[in-house]
Amino acid sequence: MKEAGIPDGVYNVVHGFGGDSAGAFLTEHPQVDGFTFTGETGTGEVIMKAAAKGIRDISLELGGKNAGLVFADCDMDKAIEGTMRSAFANCGQVCLGTERVYVERSIFDEFVGRLKEAAEGLKIGPPDDAEANLGPLVSLKHREKVLSYYQKAVDDGATVVTGGGVPEMPEELAGGAWVQPTIWTGLPEDSAVITDEIFGPCVHVCPFDTEEEAIELANSLPYGLASAIWSENITRAHRVAGQIEAGIIWVNSWFLRDLRTPFGGSKQSGIGREGGVHSLEFYTEMKNICVKL
């Protein structure tokens, strides 16, 4: 910021850890006029409560448990490539990632088989390895959380299609926060693995029989950040997209975004929109000045 010529004091970075620290102090301070926050839904609720005192603006991009819908009329190559990215990019640590995928029953076995083959073809390694395409999690503590869900999946009766543990790594890398890319099937929709945001390289795949069922499954959780639809029938894609309760919906793609378009979630995935003019609207105060001549 300084090198770009931004005056001192315009942009500030203050490090801290939530309650009784920088985050809480900032949200409670009456001279802070508004808040934009990206993070977990529970933290967003705390910030909303603090912002209510003084009626201050908020823009929140919160948690998600994003669904992918794969119809029998999809291009299977596109659907596999896109789901691989949405499930495993950045080791699954992407708020827009897909942790639950619903596949039309007639292509379910083929989809799961091809996704398994693709996941097992990923090379796990450090970011300076040009051939690696799956890195570590952000910390060992976060790995404990992800592995706890791997165990919950087994406890709840999941079929572990691939992965489910910690990979063997060379001695010099063995201390890293590595986990295997993991695919499950067979879990009930009320399993914590289906309802909770895990934020790891994992995905549960479930069959559906009708378009209406797919929409109901996609909308079944209190989150509504993003969704992906895989279908070569553009009429169906428009019809389904209009019924999905999410802030951003991709058709035959994932993570495709024009930065001028609105970005944000619905339901418990957030409030407000960013991107282009939508960001300007939050960071400015609209004023109406009337002059009688």
Active site residues: 61, 95
Listing DSSP states for 46-88 in one string gives HHHHHHHTTT-EEEEE----EEEEE-TTS-HHHHHHHHHHHHH
Neighbouring-strand partners of residue 57: 34
Phi then psi for residue 80, to 5 deg, are -70, -50
* C-alpha–C-alpha distance, residues 230 and 249, integer Å: 11
Joined together, the tokens standing for residue 175 give 């201390």
Task: Please give the helix or strand (H or E) that residue 250 lies within, else none.
Answer: strand 248-251
Residues 143 and 137: beta-carbon distance below 8 Å: yes
Residues 204 and 149: beta-carbon distance below 8 Å: no
